[in-house]
Every structure is written in C-alpha cells, then in structure tokens.
Amino acid sequence: MKALVSDEFYHIMECISDKDYDADHVLTTMKQFIPAFAERYGTNYMKVIVIEANMNGSGMKDRREFVLYGEAPGKDDIVKELIFELPLNGYVRTEAYIKKDNPLWTEEAEKDYFVLSKLGYLVYGRARVMHELEIAETTDALTGIANGNMLNRYMWERLAEGNFSTFCANFVNIKNMKLLNSKYGEQGGNLLFFEYANSIKRFIGEDGCIARIGGDNFFILIKADREAELQRLLKKLQVDLKFPGSESSIPVKMDTRLGYYYIKDGDQISDAMNSSSIALKLAKNEGSSDYILYSDDMKIQMLKMKQLDESVPVAIENEELVVFYQPKVNISEESKCILCGAEALVRWRKNGIVIPPMEFIPFLEKNGLVTKVDFYVLEHVCRDIKSWEEKGIKPVRISSNFSRRHLGDPEFANKVEAVFRKYQVDPSYFEIEITESYDSEDMEALVQFEKRMHEIGVKLSVDDFGSGFSSLKMVKNIVSDTIKLDKSIIDGVGSDDKNNEIIVSHIIKMIRCLGKEVLAEGVETKEQAAFLRDNGCDLIQGYLYGKPIPREEFEENWLKKNSLRDV
C-alpha cells in the first residue's frame, strides 16, 4: 500500500507557503487531500477541534470544530474512535470514526492516521505561532488595536493606492489619564484604555485605523469627510468601566486633546505624523484649545522652541538671564504709597539687548524649560536678599513665579526648601506665585504644596485672577494668602462701561470675605488706584508706581529710600 507520508501530506505541504500564517488556510488545504486518504482506508468521518485562549487575555477559551471529511455517524455504527490531543495555547484534537466491519482499516492505516495527525498538528501549530508573532508585531498588547508598525503598514497601503490625501491625520492624547489612574488604580486604568481605544475603533470601522503610539497617546487616520463626526464623538466620549467579577459598571468621561491635519496631495507619511504631532503639542499648552488644526505657521513656532531648547541652557550657564524687580505698594493712605514687596521678573540680556519676556517665556512654558528658569530666578532672588542683609538693607517680601508644570513633580516643595537652605535665607521673605488653570488632577498637588510652604513661612499668591485661567472653585479650595487681579479686568476700571467697576468691586469684596489679600496688577492711572483703594484693595502693582527695574536700581531707589512716597 502506498505510504501516506510520501503522498497526501506532501501534497498538503506543497500548497502551504512558508510565509502563510493563516491557520484556517492550513486546515482548508488539508481538507482538499483528506478524501483520498479517507477512501483508501475506509474512514467515514474526520474532524479537527481547536480550543485556544482568547487574545484579549480574559482567560476564556474559544472552541471551533473543523470537519475535514464526511458526516458524523451514529453511535451504533462506530467501531473505533481515534483521538490525538496536542497542546497549543489550549489544544488541537483530531478525531476519526471508522464503521464496523471495515476491512480497509488496518494497523498500517492507523499508523498513517497518526502520522497525518502529528504532522498536521506541527504545520498547524507553526502557523498559529507565526500568526501570534504577527499579532504581537502589529498589535498593541494592552488594547488589542493596531500599534505603530501596523499603522505604518496601513498608511503605506493607502499611499500606494493613491488615496492617502482623502484622509485626516489625528494625534490624540487622553487628557485626564493621570487622574483616572490615581482614582481607579492600574487595573482600572488599563480597562479604560481598552474601552476607550475600542470604542473609537468600532466607530471608525473600515474608514480608517486607530493605533496606540505609547502611553496615553493614540493616532487616528480617518476619512476626511468623517473628521467632524470623529471630533463630536471624542468630545462626548464616555466609557463604562466594569471590573472583572463586578455586576455593575461605572460611567467614566474620557476627555481628549487632539491635533489634526487634513492630508494633501503629495504628502508623505512623515508629513501626516509630524503635522498632527505639532498641533497636539500646542493643544497641550496651558490656555490652548483641546482641538487644534495644524497650520504652517506652527512650524515657525516649533523652530523657535527648538532654538530655545538649545540656547536657554547656555543663557542660564552664562547668566544672560537677569532678574528685574517691580515694586508692590500699599496705598491705604490716600496721598501716600508704602513699599510692601516686589515681584521678581526674568529678562534675557543677549548681546547687549534686553529681550522682552513675551518673546521667550511662552515658548519656555511650552517646551518645559520654564521649570529650570523658575529655579534660576529663585536662586538669584536668594542671592540678592542675602546681599541686602549683608549691606544692612532690610529686604521686603519678594514674590517669585512658578509654572504649573512644577505641580507634577512630587519633589517640588523639597527642591524649593533646598534652595532656601543653600543660601541660608529666611523663607518669610518669599512669596511664590503660581498661575494655574486648576485642572482637577493638579488641585490636590497644589494644596499639598501650599501647606508645605506655609509650614516654613512662605506666602502663596495666585496670579492672573480674572484672566480666564482661574475659577471660583479655586478661590474656595486653595489656601493661598493673596489673589492677584489680572490687568485685563483692571483695564476696564475708569471706562465708560460701569459694569466693569461693579464686577471688580464685588470680586474684591468676595476675596476679602474669604480672608485673603487682594493685589491689583497692571495699575496705570490715578483713577484706577483711587477706585481700588475706595473698594478695599490696598495693594497695588503697576506702571503708575514703578516698572520692572534692574536689581541695582531697585536697591537704590526703593529699598534704601524705602518706602514712604507721595503719590
């Protein structure tokens, strides 16, 4: 009798490519040649049972039966049942049923059946392993959606088809992920990632691709005519968080930041990725919209940021950054002003030219270098206070600005205290100003920082109240000592629209009722000063009393003379 191993199995092998990772195709190919074997040996029914773990890691098992030949016989007709079980991420089992009184079924046939089963398992197993490697290479393990490799492949396919320009590229960031991880734990955060990603994947369907790029960042390529629809989904997206074993679920709002770019004819993959990435970086900046469309002028901004990345560390090392001081005065006496403090403000003196702060501070905020500059300024203030004390000049309280970016650093308070210890200065001479948008994820960190500062005698001030970055919730919850009214609301005082003055007067009253000091910045006219004094705001900062000036000038004209001046 002709040996099976040299016949049907080799036919099967010839039809399976070395690069064929589709296990079902392997079984389909086997099915083409099994009838010849079955007829030779009188086998009535053959099937393969595949039981394997789900890819989502739930621990559930998938069972599939794949009939290779014939119809299942009745139990009374079966004389022999041959079963081979082989482990493979679950297992693969082959079954054969032979009728009674079958003269063709011999020991040789049974050996051939075993060989076919064993070799079929090896081929099938290889296909499954290669398929799983393919999944690992192209799929994000946490969410099950595409990863960067698969995204790149998908975009190359669209580019090759010539329809790449019909898509819109979206770089996406989950806005509140840090807070959600803290609230629901690592397991909850992972489940939210999964639900968030797959909600978007279901929405996109065949019209694009979503891939996880890393951390809480995703990239979405979607048909351009569905971009507006996608953004509407993201703005209201809520997923149900359900822990394993729990009967109930928790609705969780998922807030998104998005940079998007409509791909143009001639664009390459790098154009789509880089443009949407630049837009997302700007969307992450304080005060920006959460959804930003890329424009060409953003490249200029990013170029400036890159130049600052390179030049600011050099400027710090060479001490090109200098500290100016702007006086703060008390005008409780109608015709007098008394120096009660000053704000330390950084200026960049480069090649003999002083660069205005608005030309570099916003970029420092965007690229994160502002955190280094903040501590640079604090150290210079400490040196100046130490110098004044050594000269016998009594210092006043100096406020130093710190970006909200510091709130993400758990060592923030320790680093501030370390600077005071380094210069051996009294912390009570200091006030720290923080401009804050007061996202809920930062609020707790801010409150803890303020408590630590109060313990060592440092005052706290909230800057730019009324500019749109702060809120009544912030005023109620934090333990700051002073609220600074932004120049934007002071400008309306003295105008024809008296509603401005009504608003300002009530803001002052509210803050004082909460037991906090009120300081108005940007005061430029005597009329503004008189209105503020009459409405209970005694502390003033602005050009009416003094512009930011170099340390030497502040020392001579304010600290040494101190103090009492005619208005």
Residue 409 phi/psi, 5° resolution? -100, 115
Beta strands in 155-230 (DSSP E): 167-174, 208-214, 217-223
Residue-level pLDDT, tens digit, the chain, 567 residues: 444 554 666 666 667 655 555 666 767 777 777 777 777 777 777 777 766 555 444 444 567 676 777 776 666 655 555 545 555 555 566 666 676 667 777 777 777 777 767 766 666 666 667 767 777 788 888 888 999 999 999 999 999 999 999 999 999 999 878 888 888 888 888 899 899 999 999 999 999 999 999 889 999 999 999 999 999 999 999 988 888 878 888 888 999 999 999 999 999 999 999 999 989 988 876 556 789 999 888 877 777 777 777 777 787 778 888 999 999 999 888 777 889 999 999 998 888 788 878 878 877 777 778 888 999 999 999 999 999 999 999 999 999 999 888 887 889 999 999 999 999 999 999 999 886 555 555 677 788 888 899 999 999 888 877 665 555 666 666 668 888 888 888 887 877 777 888 888 998 898 888 888 999 999 998 899 989 999 988 899 999 989 999 999 999 989 987 644 444
Q: Which of 371, 403, 399 is nearest to 461 (CA)?
A: 399
CATH number of 322-566: 3.20.20.450
d(Cα 390, Cα 379) in Å, to the nearest integer? 17
Around Cβ 337, how many Cβ atoms within 10 Å? 22
User: Under a CB-based contact definition with an 8 Å cutoff, are residues 51 and 63 in contact?
Assistant: yes
Q: Superfamily for 148-295?
A: Reverse transcriptase/Diguanylate cyclase domain (3.30.70.270)
**Domain residue ranges in the chain:** 8-138, 148-295, 322-566
Any idea what DSSP says for residue 91? E
Residue 509 phi/psi, 5° resolution? -60, -45
CATH number of 8-138: 3.30.450
- Side-chain-side CA neighbours of 13 within 13 Å: the count stands at 13
Beta strands in 451-526 (DSSP E): 459-465, 482-485, 517-521
CA geometry: angle 208, 201, 152, nearest 5 deg = 45
User: Under a CB-based contact definition with an 8 Å cutoff, are residues 430 and 400 in contact?
Assistant: yes
CB contact set of 222 (below 8 Å; sequence gap of 6+) = 167, 168, 170, 204, 207, 208, 230
pTM of full prediction above 0.75: no
Q: What share of the chain is helix, strand, coil (3-state, %, to 5)?
A: 45, 25, 30
d(Cα 429, Cα 389) in Å, to the nearest integer? 11
Give the amino acid at 554: F
Residue 261 phi/psi, 5° resolution? -150, 125
Around Cβ 505, how many Cβ atoms within 10 Å? 17
Beta strands in 125-174 (DSSP E): 167-174
Any idea what DSSP says for residue 495? S
DSSP reduced 3-state for 315: helix
